[in-house]
Amino acid sequence: MKTILKGTSSEVIIDTEGPVVIIGESINPTRRKKLVETLSKHDFSFAIELAKSQIDAGADVLDVNVGFPGVDDASLLPLTVKAIQEAVDIPLCLDSPNPKAIEAALKVAAGKALINSVNGEEKSLQAILPLAKEYGAAVIGLVMDDDGITQDPEKRLAIAEKILNRAVQLGIPQEDVVIDPLAMAVSADPNACLVTLETIKLVHDRLGLNITQGASNISFGLPMRVELNNAHMALSIWNGLSCPIANPATITAFVRAIDLVRGRDDYAMRFTELFHQMEALKES
Ligand code: THG
């Protein structure tokens, strides 16, 4: 299954049979005071800096989230999207719980964006799926619904199936639905990662769709986050994760290593190319 995203003139193919696609997480105000301060003044220079550094570190797509207390993201998200796409040519993942912000961002986004996100709640399905159809965007489906979040992987799969069916009914191609199995902090629930891993496997085996997750969520509240994220990343990819939302500065080399190990990097081309890029960055 191939999901195609587009920037101004670039194209990224997320392929269930291909190498992992990295969606850079860092344009997100969570624990980034400087981003809140600059965006509040409509100064996009720091957001653009984060965009460029993530691309240098291996991001294929950029998540753009400008949600912070007191912000009107229906006006700020499109402004941020425009500023970023004037500076870099890369597909964007438009991250907001507010359908008005998503629509405003879709209006200005170049190419083909990934909406982040719809979920199985009736209200969300009705607000977001028609936008994906109208603007020809792909969409991330979170496996939660009007009953909240279940810890049963089969039930999470059923919600994924519901989101897929509703999208297809509206005329959205099935390959434009990317499922998020919900990655949550393992510090709060010892089974959190296991439930996510089993959901990934079920969605991969039964629906064959591309799969994302907020990979750094799992390590909230714990030390050695990079090591923990890497462990979860390896197992998630083996089960079918194809396009994690993650920090490229800490995950790219690891992801390239996993692709090589599982036979998705012929002659270690991408692995060695990354090595040479990292050497060149060190010298510059
Ligand atoms: N699913 C979907 N979208 C999402 C999430 C998800 N968007 C937001 C969030 N969850 C994913 N984004 C982030 C962004 C930053 C962090 C976690 C999730 C974070 N970053 C660390 C920091 O900035 O200190 C760095 C982590 C690291 O060391 O690698 O905590 O679940 N669809």
- Is residue 140 in contact with ligand 1, taking CB distance under 6 Å? yes
Range of the domain at 181: 2-248
Atom 10 of ligand 1, nearest CA residue: 214
Say if residue 284's pLDDT is above 90: no
Give the H or E element holding residue 277. helix 269-283
Q: Could you read off the pLDDT of 129-152 as tens digits, one per residue?
A: 999 999 999 999 999 999 999 999
Residues 256-264: what's their mean pLDDT?
98
Q: Is the Cβ atom of 242 under 6 angstroms away from ligand 1?
A: no
With respect to residue 274, please indicate whether it lies within any of the assigned structural domains.
no
Q: What is the whole-number distance in angstroms between the Cα of residue 267 and the centre of ligand 1?
A: 32
Residue 57 has pLDDT above 90, yes or no: yes
Token pair for residue 275? 């090595």
Least confident window among 28-37, 83-92, 149-158, 200-209: 28-37
Could you tell me if the CB of 226 is within 6 A of ligand 1? yes
Ligand 1 centroid from CA 229, angstroms: 11
Residue 282 pLDDT? 86
Over range 11-17, report the average pLDDT: 98
DSSP for residue 179 = E
User: Rounded CA gap, 254 and 193, in Å?
Assistant: 19
Q: Please write the tens of the pLDDT for every residue from 173-218.
A: 999 999 999 999 999 999 999 999 999 999 999 999 999 999 999 9
**Counted domains in the chain:** 1
Instruction: Determine the Cα–Cα distance for residues 31 and 195; give it in Å rounded to an integer.
Output: 27
Q: What is the pLDDT of residues 211-258, one digit of tens each?
A: 999 999 999 999 999 999 999 999 999 999 999 999 999 999 999 999
Domain assignment present for 269: no
The per-residue pLDDT for 87 is 98
- What's the mean pLDDT in 163-170? 98
CA angle 24, 160, 29 (to 5 degrees): 30
254 vs 100: CA distance, rounded Å = 37
Domain assignment present for 268: no
Q: Is residue 273 part of a domain?
A: no
Distances (CA, A) of 201 to 48, 127, 179, 197, 208: 36, 29, 12, 6, 10
Length of the chain: 284
Task: Tell whether the model's pLDDT for residue 91 goes beyond 90.
Answer: yes
Q: 214 CB under 6 A from ligand 1?
A: yes
Nearest residue by C-alpha to atom 16 in ligand 1:
216
Instruction: Give the CATH number of the domain where residue 13 resides.
Output: 3.20.20.20
Query: Looking at ligand 1, which residue's alpha carbon is closest to its atom 20?
Result: 216
Is 191 domain-assigned?
Answer: yes
How many angstroms does the Cα of residue 27 sit away from the middle of ligand 1?
Answer: 9
The mean per-residue pLDDT over the stretch 68-96 comes to 97
Percent of the chain past pLDDT 70, that is, above it, reads: 100
Could you tell me if the CB of 225 is within 6 A of ligand 1?
yes
Residue 283 lies in a domain: no
CA distance 20 to 14: 8
Q: Is 210 in the pocket of ligand 1 (CB under 6 A)?
A: no
pLDDT digits (tens, 9 = 90+) for 104-121: 999 999 999 999 999 999
Residue 142 lies in a domain: yes
Asked if residue 234 belongs to a domain, the reply is yes
Cα–Cα separations (whole angstroms), residue 10 to 60, 115, 237: 10, 18, 25
Question: Which amino acid would we find at residue 214?
Answer: G
Ligand 1 lined by 183 (C-beta under 6 Å): yes
What value does the mean pLDDT of the chain take? 97
Test site for ligand 1: of 200, 212, 216, 233, most ligand atoms within 8 A of the Cβ:
216
Residue 261: name the closest of 276, 271, 273 by CA: 271
